[in-house]
Amino acid sequence: MNQELRIRIKKLIGGEITDLEFLDLFKENIEITSYFDKLLEVICTEKNKDDLGLLFYIGFTFDLFDERHLERLTQLITEAWHTAHEDIAGCFNIFNQIHR
């Protein structure tokens, strides 16, 4: 994750920009879903717990998590390098609700 994206996410979290202003970053040539997926892979490979927390915020805010992430999240929930275990459990709950 680059520094510009970190700053934008933190501004979104702090209410300094709106969802639409944040999404303007992706209007030109980046498709947010595929970009999100790539970021998740990179963050997990680098084991960057701070970026993982920011990415989870974006994933929940824009409803980007779905079953294509199930394998990665299943692996992540057992790892100790991050503190996003409750967030991951929340994703599993979302997946379970979809299949009811």
Going by the DSSP 8-state scheme, the letter that residue 80 receives in this structure is S
- Distance CA(51)–CA(12), nearest Å, equals 14
Q: Mention every residue, 6+ apart, whose C-beta is less than 8 A from residue 31.
A: none
Indicate the pTM of the whole model: 0.85
Q: Hey, what are 57's tokens? A: 């915020």
Flag whether pLDDT at 96 surpasses 80: no
23-77 per-position pLDDT tens digit:
887 666 567 888 899 999 999 999 999 999 999 999 999 988 888 888 999 999 9
